[in-house]
Amino acid sequence: VVDQTIRPCLAELSEDPDVDVRYFASQAVQACDQ
C-alpha cells in the first residue's frame, strides 16, 4: 500500500512550489523508509 499509493503521492508533493509542502512530504518519505 505504501509503495503503490502513498509514495507516488509524496513524490508529487515533493515537487510542490510551496516550501512547507515539500518539507513535510520529504519528512513523510523518510518516515516510510524507517
pLDDT tens by residue, 3-32? 999 999 999 999 999 999 999 999 999 999
Q: What is the pLDDT of residue 1?
A: 87
Kindly give the residue spans of alpha helices, DSSP state H, lying in 1-34.
7-13, 19-33
Do 16 and 22 form a contact (C-beta atoms < 8 A)? yes
Residue 20 to residue 16: CA distance in whole angstroms:
9
pTM score: 0.82
Given this model, what pLDDT does residue 33 score?
A: 92
pLDDT of residue 25: 98
